[in-house]
Amino acid sequence: MVEDSVDRADSPDDDHGGGRHGRVSGSLPPREADDGGQIKYDTPNTKAAPSTSTERVGRRETGNRGLSGSGRTAARGERTANRTARIARTAGAANGRNGFGRVSLVGAGPGHPDLLTKRAYDRLATADVVFYDALTSSAVVEDLTQDTEIVDVGKRPPNRTPQNEINALLCERSKRGERVVRLKGGDPCLFGRGGEEAEHLASEGVPFEVVPGVSSALAAPGVGAIPLTHREHASSVTVITGHETPDKEDSALDWDALADVITAGGTLVILMGVARLAENVRALVDHDVPPETPAATIQKATWDDEETVVASVGTIAERNEQAGIESPAVTVVGDVVAVREAVEPSLRR
C-alpha cells in the first residue's frame, strides 16, 4: 500500500550565487580550445595511457621488409596521403560542407548542469550561437561565454516561437559558417522535435549531429527513487506525451493498450501531462486500470525546486493540484512506484 505524500527537495547548503535566474546551481568547468578546436580540460594527477605507437610502427616496418627502398618510400607516401585524407574528412565534418557551420542538436538533460554529457559541454563551450527552449534550465546557459549569442526560442505563450521559424534560424546561421547549438531539455529526439529539425537540415544540405541527453523520462523517476523496471515489479516501460486529450477522435494513443501495459505489470511514463493529467488518469481507469494503482509525479527533477508527489491513479491529479505542481513534470504509473517508500529514507540529494 502506497501512502499519499509530497516531498520537496532540501534547500541546498552551499551558496549558488543566484546567477541570472537562480533556479539551479552549477557552472561549466573552466576550459579552453586548442588550435584544432578541441576542448582542453585541466586534469591534474592523471597519468597518460601507455603509447602503442612503437607497436604500430613495428607492424608497419615488418610488413614492408620485402619491399625495395623505392617501394618502402612509396608505401610511406601512400600512408601519409591516407592520413591527410582522413584529417581532411574529419575537418570537413567538424567545419561543415560548402562553408556551412555544423548544427548540433544537443540534449541538455533534466536540468542540472552536472548531468550534461561531456560532448554537450564541448559543443556549448565552442558555439557561436545557442538556440534554447523553455524546458532548458537557466543554469545550463547562464555561464556561457560573453562571445556566445544566446537566443530563447521556447514555445510557451505568450512568446511562442513557431517551429518553421526555428528551422529557418538554424539553417541561416549555419550558412554563415557559424557553429550552431540547438539546445533542448532532456533528449532532443524524445518529444523534442529533433527528428523534424534533422529532416529540415538535411533537406537544406546543412551538416548536423545529434548529441543525446539524459531524458527526464529516465532521470525524474531515478532521482525520485522510482526505478522504471524492477525484476519483482515491471519488465516493460512505455513513454507517452500527455498533451493529447484522451477522447480526441484521431488520437495517436491507444488507451486500451496503455491500460493493458499497466495491468500486466508494466510502467507508464507520462511527459508534458500536467495540464491534462486528470483526463489521462480518468482514461486509464475507464479502461480498467484499478484506481489504487500506485502513481507519482516528479516536478522539475534535479532543479532546486524539485518536488515529488506520491499517490494513486485515482488521487494523483487532485494531490498534484493541492501541491501546486507545475510543468515541467513527469508522472509515473505502475507498481514500481511502491519501491520509493522502502528506499526513500536513505535517499540523498
Q: Which residues are catalytic?
A: 133, 155, 272
* H-helix segments, the chain: 53-63, 69-95, 118-125, 138-141, 163-175, 194-203, 216-223, 255-263, 277-286, 316-323, 338-343
Enumerate residues 6+ apart whose C-beta is below 8 A from 63.
none
Q: Are 224 and 298 within 8 A, CB to CB?
A: yes
CB 319 within 8 A of CB 255: no
CA-based angle 29:32:35, to the nearest 5?
Answer: 155
- Which three-class secondary structure state does DSSP give residue 180? strand
Task: Cell numbers for 279, please give them.
Answer: 483526463
Cell of 183: 539546445
**Cα separation, 175 vs 183, whole angstroms:** 19
Q: Which residue from 120, 143, 131 is spatially nearest to 209, judged by alpha carbons?
A: 120
Closest-CA residue to 208 (of 217, 198, 223) = 198
